[in-house]
Amino acid sequence: MIRKLMITAALGALALGGTAQAMQDRDPAYEAARASGKVGEKVDGYLGIVGESTPDLERIVADINIRRRAVYTQRAKAQNATINEYAISAGCKLILRTAPGEKYQAPDGSWQTRTQDPPILLPQCPRS
**How confident is the model over 27-41, as pLDDT tens digits?**
899 999 999 999 999
How many angstroms separate the CA atoms of 8 and 79, rounded?
10
Angle at 126 between CA 117 and CA 107, to 5 degrees: 65
pLDDT tens across 56-80, in order? 999 999 999 999 999 999 999 999 9
Cα–chain center distance at 122: 13
Work out the percent of the chain whose per-residue pLDDT is above 90.
77
Residue 119 has a pLDDT of: 97
* 4 pLDDT above the threshold of 60: no
Q: What is the pTM of this model?
A: 0.82
Q: Other C-beta atoms within 10 Å of 111: how many?
A: 15
| Residue ranges of domains in the chain | 2-113
Give the whole-angstrom CA distance, residue 71 versus residue 7. 13
At residue 28, the 3 state secondary structure works out as helix
